[in-house]
């Protein structure tokens, strides 16, 4: 029997949406107030959804302690109270929440092997959320 588990985590980070490929005017037109030279911050809520068979012995898809430990160490500690523009993974990519979602997906996909990663969902504001489920979702 396959089941899904979704776990929520939070962190705060800042970013400036700005592309070196575009002029200052183009950046302002595309990103609006999110192109503020001083940046701006969000309290991100991320959801990690994993799946797998329910272990007959434990009754779980995976141990929550293992998932929580991995996500806190590899994701929350990496991004919490950081300027995303200064992170190496955004040296060539604009740190939009879409790109942040993909980056977090890749971190979890590469490092957490105790369950199948289904998707990452990030809520940036009450009005904006983003999901990424890997290449198959394109």
40 is catalytic: no
Torsion of CA 106, 135, 40, 71, to 10 degrees: -30
25 is catalytic: no
Q: What does each C-alpha distance from 13 to 51, 54, 59, 62, 108 come to in angstroms?
A: 28, 35, 36, 28, 19
Active-site residue identified among 4, 24, 77, 81? 81
Active-site residue identified among 47, 89, 106, 124? 124
81 is catalytic: yes
- Measured CA to CA, the distance from residue 90 to residue 103 in angstroms comes to 9
Active-site residue identified among 34, 47, 106, 116? 34
- Measured CA to CA, the distance from residue 46 to residue 120 in angstroms comes to 7
* Residues noted as catalytic: 34, 81, 124
């Amino acid at each position: 029997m396959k089941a899904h588990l979704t776990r929520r985590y939070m962190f705060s980070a800042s970013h400036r949406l700005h592309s070196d490929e575009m002029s200052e005017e183009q950046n302002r037109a595309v990103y609006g107030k999110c192109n503020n030279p001083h940046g701006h911050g969000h309290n991100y809520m991320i959801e990690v959804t994993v799946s797998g068979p329910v272990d007959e012995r434990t009754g779980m898809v995976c141990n929550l302690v293992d998932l929580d430990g991995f996500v806190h160490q590899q994701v929350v500690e990496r991004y919490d109270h950081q300027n995303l523009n200064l992170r190496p993974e955004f040296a060539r990519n604009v740190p939009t929440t879409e790109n942040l979602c993909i980056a977090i997906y890749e971190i979890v996909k590469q490092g957490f092997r105790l369950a199948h990663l289904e998707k990452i969902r990030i809520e940036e504001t009450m009005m904006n959320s983003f999901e990424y489920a890997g290449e198959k979702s394109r």
